[in-house]
């Protein structure tokens, strides 16, 4: 099971100016305990749908039945989604399947190639469809949208639906799986009319919390990931997050460290830095979860807040050579969350060559994993020497159980942070204006007034154009 190590964020290591002191931690005790009680109460009242996902056998069984039906003939799976309908799918795939998965033959993979179209870049879409052109009869498109009216996903779906109708005729509908609202919405209606297979976007789970629902489980299971183990790991972490003593609860302690770093130590930047390429895109998933949940303009009582630590992703060791200079000698405004793996999925040993070169001889016969983890500890040490706080989430291995545990840990930590910051961690009102502006620019009926307000932005002032 994954573990949290937080000593290097304390005053004992980096001093009281930038490290959390025992007094600051104990002073947070009542507030932290209240946050824990509030979140636990919301769980018991059924208000936090994401916390039920590890135990939702109906969701799991629905995915398993559909996978059994489609996987025998499916060579390529394309996910159409954006944000919470895509980032989790990508993170699961990169964490738990080989980096070269899509390059392997159909026989050696044992599942379809996976493509996640999470942007409306026309080149991305055209290049992907060109690659799949001769394999459309073996391709499944999973369109994920609760309403069906998300502009990015809807536009992709409209293009692909017509392509399939043109190329495959009456058989087109068996190549589309709609993951959407169970009862209503534009996509639900179209799916029923056209006769698509359907999965559910839970009504009580926000998109950025939905990776352990059918939103994320379907593509994972299609590509051979053990979703039972994934859910079991999440369930085990859920049990750990109910520990009555908040100081022994990993979610409470992670929330406490990140909250104190943000509010009392001047650390508004929270960098997640996995030392594993496989886990790098979990940092992308974390960025949406943290930013969209915690970046809020008002407190629950309507008073101004303008809160939210900024999530940043980095990759060890790559970004030791691109960002750590800034992290050590730039503004001391960052908390680094290292993600460390004890046993990597693969191992490579450095050959015993260049014995006559003192600058290389020490590497001979060493494991690459030892070098990678040494680089992490070295960076951790270097940051501490510069009084820069860090915590480490330690993974014994990259397994479905540990991925599930990590996901649940950060989702629950996000709920606790929402309580500590006294904001609604489950809405995203600032996203809506951008959606409305897009509708206006694309000529959607009912958004004419927004289009009028946007005129200065539609036509740039040439005085400021160089």
* Residues taking part in catalysis: 292, 321, 435
3-state secondary structure of 114: strand
Beta strands in 52-181, from DSSP E residues, in sequence order: 76-80, 113-117, 139-144, 176-180
Quickly count helices (H) and strands (E) in the chain.
Answer: 20, 12
Q: Please spell the DSSP secondary structure of 320-373, one letter per residue.
A: GGTTHHHHHHS-S-EEEEEEEEEE-SS--B--S--TT-HHHHTTTT-BHHHHHH
E-strand stretches of 149-267: 176-180, 197-200
Handedness of CA 385, 390, 391, 392 (dihedral sign): negative
Q: How far apart are CA 388 and CA 336, in angstroms?
A: 8
Whether omega for the bond prior to residue 317 falls within 30 degrees of 0, making it cis, is yes
CA 388 to chain centre: 25
Q: Return the H-helix or E-strand segment holding 270.
A: strand 269-274
The CA distance from 176 to 199, in Å, is 11
């Amino acid at each position: 099971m994954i573990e949290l190590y937080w000593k290097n964020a304390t005053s004992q290591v980096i001093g009281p100016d930038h490290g959390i002191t025992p007094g600051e931690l104990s002073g947070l005790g009542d507030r932290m305990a209240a946050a824990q009680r509030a979140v636990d109460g919301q769980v018991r009242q059924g208000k936090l749908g994401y916390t039920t996902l590890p135990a939702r056998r109906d969701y799991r069984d629905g995915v398993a039945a559909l996978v059994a039906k489609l996987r025998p003939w499916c060579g390529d799976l394309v996910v159409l989604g954006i944000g919470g309908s895509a980032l989790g799918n990508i993170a699961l795939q990169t964490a738990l399947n080989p980096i070269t998965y899509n390059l392997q033959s159909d026989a050696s993979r044992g599942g379809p190639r996976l493509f996640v179209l999470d942007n409306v870049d026309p080149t991305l879409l055209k290049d992907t469809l060109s690659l799949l052109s001769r394999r459309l009869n073996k391709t499944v498109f999973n369109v994920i949208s609760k309403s069906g009216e998300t502009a990015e996903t809807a536009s992709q779906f409209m293009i692909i639906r017509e392509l399939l109708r043109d190329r495959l005729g009456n058989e087109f509908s068996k190549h589309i799986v709609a993951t959407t609202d169970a009862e209503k919405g534009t996509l639900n209606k179209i799916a029923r009319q056209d006769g698509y297979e359907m999965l559910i976007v839970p009504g009580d789970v926000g998109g950025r919390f939905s990776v352990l629902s059918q939103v994320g489980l379907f593509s994972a299971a299609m590509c051979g990931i053990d979703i039972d183990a994934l859910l079991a790991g999440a369930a085990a972490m859920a049990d750990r997050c109910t520990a009555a003593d908040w100081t022994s609860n990993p979610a409470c302690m992670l929330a406490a460290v990140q909250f104190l770093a943000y509010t009392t130590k001047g650390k508004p930047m929270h960098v997640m830095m996995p030392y594993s390429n496989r886990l790098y895109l979990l940092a992308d998933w974390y960025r949406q979860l943290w930013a969209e949940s915690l970046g809020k303009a008002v407190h629950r009582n309507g008073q101004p807040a303008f809160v939210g630590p900024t999530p940043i992703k980095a990759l060890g060791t790559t970004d030791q050579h691109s960002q750590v200079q800034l992290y050590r000698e730039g503004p001391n405004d960052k908390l680094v969350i290292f993600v460390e793996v004890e046993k990597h999925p693969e191992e490579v040993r450095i050959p015993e060559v260049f014995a006559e070169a003192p600058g290389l001889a020490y590497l001979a016969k060493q494991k690459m994993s030892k070098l990678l983890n040494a680089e992490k500890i070295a960076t951790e040490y270097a940051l501490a020497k510069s009084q820069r706080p860090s915590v480490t989430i330690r993974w014994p291995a990259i397994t479905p159980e540990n991925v599930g545990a990590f996901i649940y840990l950060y989702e629950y930590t996000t709920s606790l942070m929402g309580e500590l910051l006294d904001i609604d961690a489950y809405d995203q009102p600032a996203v809506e204006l951008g959606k409305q502006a897009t509708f206006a620019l694309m000529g959607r009926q009912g958004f004419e007034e927004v289009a009028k307000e946007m005129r200065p932005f539609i036509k740039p002032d040439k005085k400021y154009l160089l």
